[in-house]
Amino acid sequence: MTELTGPARTHTNRASLSHKIRYAVQNPDRVRPYLRRLARDCSLRLTTRDHVAYYRAVMKADAATSPSAAVGSASHERWLALGQMQFDYLIRHGLTSKDRMLEIGCGNLRAGWRFIDYLDVGHYYGIDISPEILLAAGDTLVQQRLQDKRPHLSLVRDLRLAALPDAYFTVVHAHSVFSHSPIEVIDECLAHIGRVMAPNAFFDFTYNRTDGTEHHVLREDFYYRTGTLTALAETHGLTARPMEDWDQLPHKQSKIRITL
Ligand SMILES: C[S@@+](CC[C@H](N)C(=O)[O-])C[C@H]1O[C@@H](n2cnc3c(N)ncnc32)[C@H](O)[C@@H]1O
């Protein structure tokens, strides 16, 4: 589940047999980890009732080894750098300390601790489906000595956002969450996000882009065409636009911005 950097190969179908064989030949050291994930996939498919339960189990197993690796960073330096990249991007796009931010899939606060530090007291809300990663988020908060900023960190079982107030958030952020989500989870989020967004708010999310066939790898990594996601947003009365300046950064995912 590592977030590789570098330009996306947008036509590659990672679920195809030919890709798997080519990848295995070029990366023999990745074969054993892949087979371990494949075995886990077979077992979780039998024991979990839906995708959220499935992915929660993936996070539980991965966070037990390393919370930073579970959110996709191979080292602490990479964890710091990817959080900084998310923070700097939103600062360039006008984030102010007065904004009220919702971070969907906040993980162990890789970017979240920087937002909490920057925003006014109580202005950061992080939600996640994984209890283990939220415990790790608490650890990050302590390490960064940010208790006085009183962020809200909540466990959720879906993305209906039912516990959150109407028209409240001015910035909504979801980094590397829809890249791990089937279309019905994204649809659920887009169906409800408009209710919690303030009139001039925006919602940025990243996704794995393909210009070829949409596919997933072991239900952990999902690849979508941009048009699928923008059209889905429009069915919920939202406006969606691809953020081309994000594509210039050394990150393999693309970004879409949603407005009301
Ligand atoms: C790759 S991590 C990224 C974490 C954080 N956004 C960051 O950039 O460090 C994905 C996170 O999204 C959470 N997640 C996955 N699906 C979710 C969903 N449907 N609702 C809320 N959180 C979800 C996972 O538990 C995990 O913490």
Residue linked to tokens 């990366």: 27
Taken in order of first residue, the domains within the chain and their CATH numbers are 17-259 (3.40.50.150)
The predicted structure's pLDDT at residue 9: 52
The predicted structure's pLDDT at residue 13: 81
Q: What's the pLDDT tens digit per position in 89-113?
A: 999 999 999 999 999 999 999 999 9
State the distance from the centre of ligand 1 to the C-alpha of 123, rounded, in angstroms: 20
Nearest CA to ligand 1 atom 24: 105
Q: Left if phi > 0, otherwise alpha if psi is -120 to 50, otherwise beta: which for 104?
A: beta
Per-residue pLDDT of the chain (260 residues; tens, 9 = 90+): 445 455 455 767 877 777 777 777 788 887 788 888 888 888 888 888 899 999 999 999 999 999 999 999 999 999 999 999 999 999 999 999 999 999 999 999 999 999 999 999 999 999 999 999 999 999 999 999 999 999 999 999 999 999 999 999 999 999 999 999 999 999 999 999 999 999 999 999 999 999 999 998 878 899 999 999 999 999 999 999 999 999 999 899 999 999 99
- CA 58, CA 52: separation in Å to the nearest integer? 10
Q: Three-class SS string for the chain?
A: CCCCCCCCCCCCCCCCHHHHHHHHHHCHHHHHHHHHHHHHHHHHHHHCCCHHHHHHHHHHHHHHHCHHHHCCCCCHHHHHHHHHHHHHHHHHCCCCCCCCEEEECCCCCCCHHHHHHHCCCCCEEEEECCHHHHHHHHHHHHHCCCHHHCCEEEECCCCCCCCCCCCCEEEEEECCCHHHCCHHHHHHHHHHHHHHEEEEEEEEEEEEECCCCCEEECCCEEEECHHHHHHHHHHCCCEEEECHHHHCCCCCCEEEEEEC
Nearest CA to ligand 1 atom 1: 71
Question: Which among 1, 48, 50, 71 is the best mutation to test ligand 1's pocket, defined by most ligand atoms within 8 Å of the CB?
Answer: 71
State the distance from the centre of ligand 1 to the C-alpha of 206, rounded, in angstroms: 11
Task: State the first-to-last Cα distance of the chain, in angstroms, to the nearest integer.
Answer: 32
Question: Which among 51, 177, 185, 206 is the best mutation to test ligand 1's pocket, defined by most ligand atoms within 8 Å of the CB?
Answer: 177
The predicted structure's pLDDT at residue 7: 46
